[in-house]
Structure 1
Amino acid sequence: MRMFQLLRLAAQAEALRWKRTGRGYAIQAGLGVAAGVFGLMLLVMLHVAALIWLARGRDPAMAALIVAGIDLVLAGILGWLAARHVEDPVAVEAQRVRDDALRQVGDTTAKAAMVLPLLRSQSAKKGLVGAALTAAVIGLLARR
């Protein structure tokens, strides 16, 4: 019964980890899209500023250049936020819980595999050797 509880705990921890990781990627993508939008607005404003500067005087162009400078700052901030990778502490903890639960399942399975040959064997010596070999193999498989 404990093994099934550990497997269920490992599955829940893995689901939580994937959910939180996906949420982080979604936020990162949203910030990247916002940075792209402000970058596009920067290009439009630079074009408008150049057109106004060439057509008239410098006063309307300076206003457009100020707006373009603000867009550049916003695009830089949002781009920096989208580029950084911060691990979610909940996702890291969920992965640790999953790994611990799976390790305990492997240990429980190895113990059961060691006892079963003893119960089935007619010779105690033969049963001990079989149990030791089975536990060693299962232990190696559980560590992978």
Structure 2
Amino acid sequence: MRMFQLLRLAAQAEALRWKRTGRGYAIQAGLGAAAAIFFLLLMVMLHVAALIWLARGRDPAVAALIVAGVDLVLVALLGWLAARHAEDPVAVEATRVRDDALRQVGDTTARAAMVLPLLRSQSAKKGMIGAALTAAVIGLVARR
């Protein structure tokens, strides 16, 4: 019974991890799209205002180069912010719970595999050898 509870717990933890990870990506995409729209509108207004202001005392080409330099700095800053990715602590904990539950399932299965040949065997000697071989195989498989 405990093995099924552990498998159910591992499945629930995995589902929670996927749900939280997907939620995080959806929120990031929505915020990124909204930021991009407002950024474009802001840049248009700033370009117009900056060109009008800078063109008063300078050559219009120099004013355009100054605005382009400011754009380059803003693009670098926003690109750096978009590239950052923080892990969701709930998703990290769900991964840990899943891994622990699956490890415990492997341990429980190895113990059951070791005891079952003893119960089925007519001879204790044959049962011990079968149990040892089965436990070794299950232990090797569980660690991979």
TM norm structure 2? 0.75
User: Partner residue of 1:134?
Assistant: 134
Give the CA deviation at 1:35.
2.9
Task: Return the alpha-carbon distance in structure 1 between the equivalents of residues 56 and 135 of structure 2.
Answer: 86
The answer to whether the 8 A contact 1:13-1:94 is kept is yes
The answer to whether the 8 A contact 1:31-1:81 is kept is no
The answer to whether the 8 A contact 1:29-1:82 is kept is no
The answer to whether the 8 A contact 1:116-1:131 is kept is yes
Structure 2 unaligned segments of length 5 or more: list them.
58-69
User: Partner residue of 1:64?
Assistant: none
What is the total number of aligned residue pairs between the two structures? 135
| Bigger shift: residues 89-98 or 25-34 | 25-34
Task: Return the alpha-carbon distance in structure 2 between the equivalents of residues 52 and 78 of structure 1.
Answer: 25
User: Partner residue of 1:93?
Assistant: 93
- Greater relative contact order structure (CA < 8 Å, 6+ sep): 2
Q: What root-mean-square deviation, in Å, do the aligned CA atoms of Structure 1 and Structure 2 show?
A: 3.3
1:103-142 counterparts in 2 under 5 A?
103-142=103-142
Task: Return the alpha-carbon distance in structure 2 between the equivalents of residues 90 and 7 of structure 1.
Answer: 19
Task: Return the alpha-carbon distance in structure 2 between the equivalents of residues 85 and 24 of structure 1.
Answer: 10
Task: Return the alpha-carbon distance in structure 2 between the equivalents of residues 77 and 33 of structure 1.
Answer: 16
Task: Return the alpha-carbon distance in structure 2 between the equivalents of residues 119 and 106 of structure 1.
Answer: 20
Secondary structure of residue in 1 paired with 2:134: helix
TM-superposition CA deviations, 1:83-126 (whole Å, max 9, x none): 21101111101110010001101100110000111111122121
User: Partner residue of 2:38?
Assistant: 38
The answer to whether the 8 A contact 1:11-1:98 is kept is yes
User: Partner residue of 1:10?
Assistant: 10
TM-superposition CA deviations, 1:9-45 (whole Å, max 9, x none): 1111111111111111112112221232133224533
Task: Return the alpha-carbon distance in structure 2 between the equivalents of residues 19 and 2 of structure 1.
Answer: 25
Task: Return closer, same or farther for 1:50/1:87 CA change in 2, 3 Å cut-off.
Answer: closer
Give the CA deviation at 1:51.
7.7
Q: Which amino acid aligns with 1:85?
A: H
